[in-house]
A and B are shown apart, each in its own frame.
Chain A
Amino acid sequence: MTGIRNQDETFGEPTAQATTAVTGRPPEQARTVGGRVRNVFRNLLISIPLLGLVVWTLAPFLVTLSVSLKDRAEVFAEPSLIPSSPSFSAYGEVLASQSFTTSFLNSLIVGVGTTLLTIAIGVPAAYAFARFNFRGRHLLLLFTLLPRLVPSLGIMVPIYRLAVAVGALDSRLTLIVVYTGMLLPLAVWLMVGFFQQIPREIEEAANVDGANLWGRLRYIVAPLAAPSMIMIGVLAFREAWNEFTLVLVLTSTPGKRTLPYELYLMQGIEGIANFPGEAAFTLLTVLPFVLIYTRVEKYVVAGLISGSGK
């Protein structure tokens, strides 16, 4: 629904009309000499802000990469961006540390768990909201506003107190359930849109052919909704992988924390700041998502646009 469509519109091929409107003159003018000079000038004018965008976005990554390839003394001795003798020792150190390996595993479990649970609970609900007229459908409208009304900051203290009361601290399952609860409104809302785009007639035809509800879900709805489920999954995984506010209060013992929490602690624990270690840890935290990012990028973009209620 809106997510995917939006993204196609946003980055679709420009029409000739659009080009004219943007450049302010018809394309033919580029063929004249004066037009060509003006073209070069205009291209320069366009590319400088774009270069600014690239620098703005990538500078923090590059600076971090640069520091991660130096050793502790070198960071201060040689502030140049390109390290004279790059080494991967900081990465080796981080990868060998218990804090990284356990929190990485925790993040992975929580991320995958949140993704699966969100899809398992959210998809049937979305189907019900999209296809059935039943009492309780009006709750769907509430779902659209809830994530905005209740930011994670708002439930940070009460959910901590409640978790203490029921003895649910320091548990990956708690994190999975809490993250799923936070993601569900958005996930359900998005899925309802997708399901509504699947023509009702297909299901009606299958119904006539004798397919029951389960059969229609299994052989018609699920395959058609698969791309949108991937989007929801990417959205859920990203949220669980990066979430910091709630994991900060819901876990306390080493071995139960996820990556952002461990990275946060790393800044404080080291007496003299271990900048290469922090930098390497940061990049290793980011890396798994960057690796799949190129594959799931359009889902990320779509999720970003439609998920801005987060």
Chain B
Amino acid sequence: MSTPTATTSPQASGSSRSRRRWWQRQEPPGKNESFVIGQSRAAPYLFSLPSILLVAAILGFPVLYGVWQSLFRRETLASDPEYVGFLNYTEMFSSDAFWHSLNRTAIFVFGSLVVGTTLGLFFAFALFRVVGKLRFLRAVTVAPYIISNVAAAVMFRILFNSQFGVLNEFLGWFGIDGPSWLANPDLAMVVVIFTQVWTDLPLTILLLLGGLMTIDKSYLDASLVDGATGWTRARHITIPLLAPQILISTVWLSYSTLTGLGVVLALTGGGPLKATQTMAMEMYTVAFRNLEFNQALAIATFILILNALLTLGYVAIGRRYEYEQ
């Protein structure tokens, strides 16, 4: 797929107002605006302090504490932590379990991206044609969002059950002997990917649909004059114009799969034969099964760094499409 740079893409000249999207965070009002309506100077501090403190205590401090603690180690749970420098990291990078989980994570993230983006685009295109007409479809689209990861895992476990699952029943109609999905190391990953995508797809669809709605109709009309229809138009006009939304949903899916634990834990617990032992699962196992908390914090820090890189990409995408318009 060719992704046009924003300068060559037609939307660069499109109306910037209507193309503003949620990720293009609005800047706070400038200083020239008059701010102080109230009489009290203390009011803003009193108002905002509880929030700032709580966020610092719940999100900020634990991360710093975790990174700091990843430089320590305890012989037993009761013993005092001992400073070991980067020992936890060097051991992590030389352990097979870590590289195995990195490999599993790569497959999990990449598989979810492919399945999620393909299905998201397919359903977004379908919904775009009936937009505003069928309220029922909107409710259906969003339904997976209101389900917990565990509930989704139970549902998919029933759906993919090898003995009574509807899917194997369905395959049986075509003479296919359905496999035992969750017992087979390769297929278990497929089930995990589909379950994860199922829970994440509502946002993907809405993002892409929102993108479709903002495409300037004149490009589509112009392409019609040139005789482009159907797949050709989607391939050469619509999908390139959707590039920002596709990129954003890609980054979001990566974030969600990289840091997602609930679906994997509830569906397979990392098995069978560690086939779905992603990095999130590995961190959980090291921490809460082996009770090696400091070692687990090294994995957690590694995940946080990967995630920070993703966030950078996300910000970069937002800026590029915001500023070049």
Give Cα A229 to B63, complex, Å: 29
B38 in contact with A132 (CB, 8 Å): yes
A134 in contact with B45 (CB, 8 Å): yes
B59 in contact with A305 (CB, 8 Å): no
Find chain B residues with CB under 8 A from A59 CB: 159, 166
B37 in contact with A305 (CB, 8 Å): no
Q: A22-B128, A304-B206 are in contact. Are A204 and B58 (CB under 8 A)?
A: no
Q: Is the interface of B mostly helix, strand, loop or mixed?
A: helix
Q: Which residue, A13, A145, A155, has most C-beta atoms of chain B within 10 A?
A: A155
- Interface flag for A18 (CB, 8 Å): yes
A153 in contact with B261 (CB, 8 Å): yes
A207 in contact with B37 (CB, 8 Å): yes
B224 in contact with A24 (CB, 8 Å): yes
Find chain A residues with CB under 8 A from B283 CB: 153, 156-157
A145 in contact with B138 (CB, 8 Å): no
Find chain B residues with CB under 8 A from A181 CB: 54-55, 57-59
Closest chain A CB from B290 CB (angstroms): 12
Chain A 1-32 against B: per-residue CB contact (8 Å), 1 yes, 0 no? 11100100111111001101111100000000
Give Cα A242 to B66, complex, Å: 25
Task: Out of A49, A76, A143, A161, name the residue touching B122 (CB < 8 Å).
Answer: A49
Find chain B residues with CB under 8 A from A153 CB: 259-261, 280, 283, 300, 303
Find chain B residues with CB under 8 A from A46 CB: 126, 129-130
Q: Residue on B with the closest CB to A185? A: B55
- Chain B count of residues within 8 A CB distance of the other chain: 119
Find chain A residues with CB under 8 A from B51 CB: 121-122, 124-125, 184, 188
- Interface flag for A230 (CB, 8 Å): no
A213 in contact with B38 (CB, 8 Å): yes
Closest chain A CB from B39 CB (angstroms): 7
Residues of B within 8 A of A (CB): 18, 20-23, 25-26, 28-29, 31, 34-40, 43-48, 50-52, 54-55, 57-63, 65-66, 69, 119, 122-123, 125-135, 137-152, 154-159, 161, 163-166, 169, 198, 201-203, 206-207, 209-210, 213-214, 217, 220-221, 224, 229, 252, 255, 259-262, 265-266, 280, 283-284, 287-288, 293, 296-297, 300, 303-304, 307-308, 311, 314-315
Residues of A within 8 A of B (CB): 1-3, 6, 9-14, 17-18, 20-24, 46, 49-50, 52-54, 56-61, 63-64, 66-67, 75-76, 79-81, 121-122, 124-125, 127-129, 131-134, 136-137, 139-141, 143-162, 177-178, 180-182, 184-185, 188-189, 193, 196, 200, 203-204, 207, 212-213, 216, 238, 241-245, 248-249, 259-261, 263-264, 267, 275, 278-279, 281-282, 285-286, 289-290, 293-294, 297, 300-301, 304-306, 308
